[in-house]
Amino acid sequence: MSVHTFFQWYFRTPVFLRLLLTVAFFMVFFGVIIHWIEPEVFPTIFDGIWWAIITGSTVGYGDFVPVTIIGKVFGILLIIAGGGLVTFYMATVSSSTVKYEQDLSKGKVEYRGAGHVIFIGWNERTKQLIDMIREFSPNEKVVLVDSTLETIPYKEYSIHYVQGNGSEDETLKRANINQARAAIITSDPSMKERQADQASILATVAIRGMNADIFIISEILTKEQITNAKRAGANTIVRSNDFMSTLFFHELYRKGHVKPFDTLVSQLSTQQYKQLEVPDELIGETFQTCSFKFMEQEELLLGIEKAGEIKINPPAKLTLDKSDRLLVLSALRQ
């Protein structure tokens, strides 16, 4: 390797590695020199390197001390050159650590993990969803993409923040979209409904274009844009306006003390819906028999999917086939 090539490689290495290599070179150089000058006092090269590190870091144990004039001169040079270099290295490490923490909070650091879930948009729904994930799936890796946040307290929210527009390729690359397993796109509450849907669809198109296998959940507010969201590549569409309108209706016309909204929110926060194949021992049995079986497991059989049609609370004597799918409500567990 030529000197020119070496210097090109040296100055292209990260500053941490460059400083560490320089410090190591100085310590080894002075350690070898002092061993060569005073072999009686420093019987091995390791003893010389040990003395150089202790002296250069200004610790000064005093277990090895040069006794000749030339040895002391090299000791002075080591203190001047090596001590300043070690101090500069420690200061650089400290300042870089602080800068890295600031960059994390500002969303400037790329995410390098895999199998994570990406959230597009920071709002109250996102906050609550993160809290639920942390409670029931604490090992889930979450990456937040948002363009409105200046900083995020990453120590309070154990997520990785990427600042930028969720429909731009560069931002999605920094979120490592190619290795993500799922993406959740929430509507921007600061926009009008149609604009928010267009932004969600645009983000869906960008995500699907960069990762053909990722599972995408997209929130759509207007019925007219549901088809476009499906065309864009959304696997699941959450129609929050339809859902809330239905809840308002039930709340308005409810009878008795049961509150549909409170009951449903409480249920969804502690229960999960599952779609299961019919167990072999229950093929040919009735829906009623199957319901009792799941009750023994502390699960609730809500209905079945038969020939592509979902039947909630079907007739008790309905016979289950192998091709059917069971809709079950069970406790949400970690």
Domain ranges, ordered by start, for the chain: 3-106, 116-243, 258-331
| Alpha carbons 287 and 326: distance in angstroms, whole number | 10
Mean pLDDT for 213-226 is: 92
The predicted structure's pLDDT at residue 324: 87
User: Which pair of structure tokens corresponds to residue 31?
Assistant: 């350690």
| Alpha carbons 75 and 77: distance in angstroms, whole number | 5
The predicted structure's pLDDT at residue 4: 46
Q: What angle (nearest 5°) sits at the alpha carbon of residue 103, between those of residues 100 and 105?
A: 115
Which of residues 30 and 183 earns the better pLDDT score? 183
Which of residues 302 and 46 earns the better pLDDT score? 46
**CA 37 vs CA 51, 67, 73, 77, 101: distances in Å:** 13, 10, 11, 14, 46
pLDDT band of residue 201 (cuts 50, 70, 90) is: very high
For all residues of the chain together, what is the average pLDDT?
A: 82
Tell me, which fold does domain 116-243 have in CATH? Answer: Rossmann fold (3.40.50)
Residue 277 confidence (pLDDT) above 80: yes
Mean pLDDT for 47-60 is: 82
Number of helices (H), then strands (E), belonging to the chain: the values are: 12, 10
Chain centroid offset of residue 130 CA = 11
Residue 113 confidence (pLDDT) above 60: yes
pTM: 0.61
Closest C-alpha to 112, from 160, 156, 71: 160
The predicted structure's pLDDT at residue 211: 95
DSSP 2: -
For the CA atoms of 255, 257, 258, 260, the dihedral, rounded to the nearest 10 degrees, stands at 70
The gap between the terminal CA atoms of the chain, to the nearest Å, is 56
Which of residues 99 and 133 earns the better pLDDT score? 133
CATH number of 258-331: 3.30.70.1450
Residue 125 confidence (pLDDT) above 80: yes
Residue 52 confidence (pLDDT) above 90: no
Mean pLDDT for 260-265 is: 59
Mean pLDDT for 50-54 is: 86
Closest C-alpha to 125, from 190, 167, 186, 184: 186
Class of domain 3-106: mainly alpha
The predicted structure's pLDDT at residue 260: 57
Q: Give the gyration radius of the chain's Cα atoms.
A: 32
DSSP string, 130-146: HHHHHHH-TT--EEEEE
Instruction: Reduce the DSSP state of residue 65 to 3 states and report it.
Output: coil
pLDDT per residue as tens digits for the range 164-199: 999 999 999 999 999 999 999 999 888 899 999 999
User: Which pair of structure tokens corresponds to residue 23?
Assistant: 């410090």
SS3 content of the chain, % helix, strand, coil (to 5): 50, 15, 35
| Alpha carbons 252 and 267: distance in angstroms, whole number | 20
pLDDT over 70, % of the chain:
81
Which of residues 223 and 155 earns the better pLDDT score? 223
Mean pLDDT for 91-119 is: 80
Mean pLDDT for 195-221 is: 94
Note every long-range contact of 303-309, with CB atoms under 8 Å and residues 24 or more positions apart, other chains counting: 303/327, 305/275
Are 295 and 241 in contact by the 8 Å Cβ rule? The answer is no
Residue 206 confidence (pLDDT) above 90: yes
The predicted structure's pLDDT at residue 268: 59
**CA 93 vs CA 17, 18, 63: distances in Å:** 11, 12, 29
> Rounded to a whole number, what is the largest CA-CA distance in the chain?
104
Mean pLDDT for 245-266 is: 66
| Tokens 């650091």 found at | 109
pLDDT over 90, % of the chain:
26
Q: In what order do the strands lie in the sheet with 142-146?
A: 160-163, 142-146, 117-120, 182-185, 215-219, 236-238
Mean pLDDT for 124-130 is: 87
